[in-house]
Amino acid sequence: MTRLTRLLLAAFPVVFLLTLLVAPALRLLVEGGRLPLWEPLQDSFLRWRFAWSFLQAAVTCVVALALGLPVAWALARFEFFGRTVVLHALMLPFVVPTLVAAMGVLALLGPQGFLWAWGGPDLQGSPWLLIYGNLFFNLCLVVRAAAEALGQVSASRVAAARSLGATPWRVFWRIEWPSIAPWLMSALCLVFLYCFSGFGLALVLGGQEYATIEVEIYTLVAHELELAQAGSLALWMLVLTGVVALGYAAIERRLVAPAHSDLVVRRRPQGWRQWFFVSGALAVLLLFCAAPLLAIVLRVAAAGIGAWSVLLEDATLAALWNSFRFTVLTVVLATALGLSHALAVRQSLVLRTLVYLPFIVSPVMVAFGLLLLYPQWTASFGLLVCAYALLAYPFVAKSLAASLDSMPLHLAQAARTLGATPWHVFWRVTMPLLRPALRRGMAFAAATAIGEFAVTLFLSRPEWATLTTLVYEYLGRPGAANRDAALVLACLLMALALLAFVLIEWSGTTDAEFRGQADCGAARQTPKELIRA
């Protein structure tokens, strides 16, 4: 590929990022600069919002580590029936829309949920709903990172420690823990970042008292028109998330190390204690990662056939059509952007880094910045599609870039020596090898577009309503019929997410490929996967 061709390819995603992300972020800085930077901290209400945003993220990190590390150890050290299925199922939270997860949490723990039906308390209005929702999305992230880190521990060092009389617990703390600690700290940085800047879960599950800063920004813009104060809060969020992202990058650099060739061999559990340990690990995954989705299905089944009539209503059909065309156009644009970016970044570290920008800036920040910078395009169809593609295309770019990095160079060189033009080499050699990675990236992009919520709330108008906004609209209406309608629509969204999940996993990846199969996952990558990209 010539230098001119690479520059032309790079120009497309770079101009797109500058127009849709960098310029709106700078506009946010200008808007936030209208008020003194410390003014939000002088308001006790906003101080509580900041404190709670930090606290719920920190608590999620602690609980995710406490639950995820034993689960990861069981998956990394034991071989049992269904283990491969469990590894594949860890991908599911990466593609489930935020509103579906929130509906599942409410169906399980909310008013008249299964916990309430079994004589438990109603957790509506408590902080535990949001913590549980955070764990649904982020527990698998910690499990994946810890399982991969444990898979890299040297078997010879473990065997030497055991031969010297060390107990399994002492081997873990003296051999395994120092090796996996950087991986876990890196994953926890991501967990903190996602929870601290989360929007959808906090909007539905947090209520008035336990809403986060992202929800407060949305409230100030959409309901109170306090753009200056919202800009000041957005400026604080950009600074704080940037600090966490820098911390993540600093930890990530420590993970670049050659893998050990003498890996610990997994074994079948022996005795009731080991089987109990494995069963407990699977129960944790079932309780925190599968129970909310099962609760939606059970609640919809209990609602009866009449609740499904919502699928035939005009509003639902219009929302389904909007979701479909937004998704199709988003995938097309994201594929073009991702392919251009991936082909251009092979020899440019700067361009390779730019693809992470949409992951650092939250969808609320993106939507607010676009609203301020392009008010004349607000609620336009084109701006919505571009905003969707901005959030989706990094998944395609990262998946393709990782595949290009691992592609043997001699194949293209052999084709050139046989007289093939660069164009023929690309279509006959490179593209067939990129198809699995392209399919994965497109599936993640489709899942992102189907479940996108924050951008739609900011920039959409009634005729552009999608399934996610329709679910949120039904949730805001009183009555059991509206609650059942929201559950049915959430079930439909979940089915679409499962379709994306099947497309991602359709190739039947082996256990050895588990470490690389989510190299683009919903901005929820494990540290090693980020390095490989």
The mean pLDDT of 65-87, rounded to a whole number, is 88
Task: Tell me the residue range of the domain where 385 lies.
Answer: 3-257+268-532
Residue 390 inside a domain? The answer is yes
Residue 305 inside a domain? The answer is yes
pLDDT at residue 504, as a whole number: 64
State the CB neighbour count (10 A cutoff) for residue 81: 7
How far is the C-alpha of 318 from the C-alpha of 203, rounded, in Å? 24
Residue 286 inside a domain? The answer is yes
Q: What is the DSSP letter of 93?
A: H
* Residues 503, 439 contacting (CB under 8 angstroms): yes
Residue 464 inside a domain? The answer is yes
Q: Is residue 529 pLDDT above 50, yes or no?
A: no
The mean pLDDT of 36-61, rounded to a whole number, is 84
How far is the C-alpha of 200 from the C-alpha of 217, rounded, in Å? 13
More confident residue, 388 or 530: 388
**Structure token digits, residue 35:** 């008020």
Residue 116 inside a domain? The answer is yes
Mean pLDDT of the chain: 79
pLDDT at residue 284, as a whole number: 92
- To the nearest 10 degrees (0 to 180), the angle between helices 381-405 and 314-344 is 40
> Helix (H, G, I), strand (E, B), or coil: what is residue 154?
strand
State the CB neighbour count (10 A cutoff) for residue 422: 14
pLDDT at residue 517, as a whole number: 42
Note the pLDDT tens digit of each residue in 241-250. Answer: 777 777 766 6
- At 191, which CATH number? 1.10.3720.10
Q: Is residue 82 pLDDT above 50, yes or no?
A: yes
Among 334, 349, 371, residue whose Cα is nearest residue 446: 334
Which residue has 């610990």 as its token pair? Answer: 264
> What is the DSSP secondary-structure string of 227-273?
HHHHHHHHHHHHHHHHHHHHHHHHHHGGG--PPPSSBPPPB---HHH
pLDDT at residue 35, as a whole number: 67
How far is the C-alpha of 184 from the C-alpha of 251, rounded, in Å? 10
Beta bridge partners of residue 154, listed in sequence order: 263
* Residues 447, 467 contacting (CB under 8 angstroms): no
Confidence of residue 457 (pLDDT cuts 50, 70, 90): confident
- To the nearest 10 degrees (0 to 180), the angle between helices 44-77 and 213-222 is 130
Among 452, 469, 473, residue whose Cα is nearest residue 364: 452
The mean pLDDT of 350-366, rounded to a whole number, is 76
pLDDT at residue 276, as a whole number: 92
The mean pLDDT of 423-440, rounded to a whole number, is 77
How far is the C-alpha of 188 from the C-alpha of 523, rounded, in Å? 14
pLDDT at residue 528, as a whole number: 34
What type of residue is 519? D
More confident residue, 509 or 372: 372
Confidence of residue 515 (pLDDT cuts 50, 70, 90): very low
Q: Is residue 361 pLDDT above 60, yes or no?
A: yes
Looking from the CA of 34 toward its CB, the CA atoms found within 13 Å total 13
> What is the DSSP secondary-structure string of 401-467?
HHHHHTS-HHHHHHHHHTT--HHHHIIIIIHHHHHHHHHHHHHHHHHHHHH--HHHHHH--GGG--H
pLDDT at residue 23, as a whole number: 86
The mean pLDDT of 200-211, rounded to a whole number, is 83
How far is the C-alpha of 141 from the C-alpha of 527, rounded, in Å? 10
Number of domains the chain is built from? 1
Residue 263 inside a domain? The answer is no
Out of 96-110, 257-271, 350-364, 447-461, the most confident range is 96-110
Residue 511 inside a domain? The answer is yes
Of 9-13, 118-122, 258-262, which gets the smallest average pLDDT?
258-262
Q: Is residue 516 pLDDT above 50, yes or no?
A: no
The mean pLDDT of 207-212, rounded to a whole number, is 82
Q: Is residue 513 pLDDT above 50, yes or no?
A: no
Of 36-40, 69-73, 235-239, which gets the smallest average pLDDT?
36-40
pLDDT at residue 520, as a whole number: 39
Confidence of residue 512 (pLDDT cuts 50, 70, 90): very low
pLDDT at residue 519, as a whole number: 39
Looking at the chain, the whole-number percentage of residues with pLDDT higher than 70 is 84
The mean pLDDT of 433-441, rounded to a whole number, is 82
* Residues 193, 244 contacting (CB under 8 angstroms): yes
* Residues 454, 362 contacting (CB under 8 angstroms): yes
Note the pLDDT tens digit of each residue in 110-160. Answer: 777 777 667 666 677 778 889 999 999 889 889 988 888 888 777 778 778
Residues whose CB is less than 8 angstroms from the CB of residue 55 and which lie 6 or more positions away in sequence, other chains included: none
Residue 112 inside a domain? The answer is yes
Confidence of residue 60 (pLDDT cuts 50, 70, 90): very high
* Residues 415, 312 contacting (CB under 8 angstroms): no
> Helix (H, G, I), strand (E, B), or coil: what is residue 78?
strand
